[in-house]
Amino acid sequence: MVVPELLNLRQNMATTALINPEVRMIPMAETDLAALELLFDEECAEWLELLNWDYKGASMLVRDVARQRQLSGLVAVSGNATVGFAYYLIEGRRCSIGDIYVSRPWRGTGIDRIMAEAVLDRIDQVGKVRRIESQCVGVGNHDADLLFQARGFERLERSYMLTGVAAEDPPPSSTAEVTIRPWKAADFSQAVRVIHRSYHGTHDSRINSQYRTEQGCAELLTILTDHVWCGDFLPLVSCVAVRPSGSVVGVLIASRVARGVGHIGQISVHPAHQGQGVGRRMIASAMSELRNRGFKSASLAVTTANTNAFHLYQTCGFETIHTFPVFYREKR
Q: What is the pLDDT of residue 17?
A: 35
Q: What is the pLDDT of residue 145?
A: 97
Residues of the chain with pLDDT under 50: 1-21
User: Domain span at residue 61?
Assistant: 4-152
332 lies in a domain? no
Q: How many domains does the chain have?
A: 2
Domain boundary among 125, 152, 179: 152
- CATH number reported for the structural domain that contains residue 265 in this entry: 3.40.630.30
Do 140 and 262 share a domain, yes or no?
no
Do 263 and 119 share a domain, yes or no?
no
| Beta-carbon count within 10 A of 79 CB | 9
Domain boundary among 152, 185, 203: 152
Rounded-to-integer distance, Cα 111 and Cα 143, Å: 8
Q: What is the pLDDT of residue 229?
A: 87
Do 196 and 59 share a domain, yes or no?
no
330 lies in a domain? no
pTM beyond 0.85 = yes
Do 211 and 277 share a domain, yes or no?
yes
- 317 in the Ramachandran plot: left (φ > 0), alpha (ψ -120 to 50) or beta? left
Q: What is the pLDDT of residue 179?
A: 95
Do 72 and 197 share a domain, yes or no?
no
pLDDT per residue as tens digits for the range 52-108? 999 999 999 999 999 999 999 999 999 989 999 999 999 999 999 999 999 999 999
Domain boundary among 100, 133, 152: 152
Q: Beta strand 261-269 with 24-27: parallel, antiparallel or unpaired?
A: unpaired
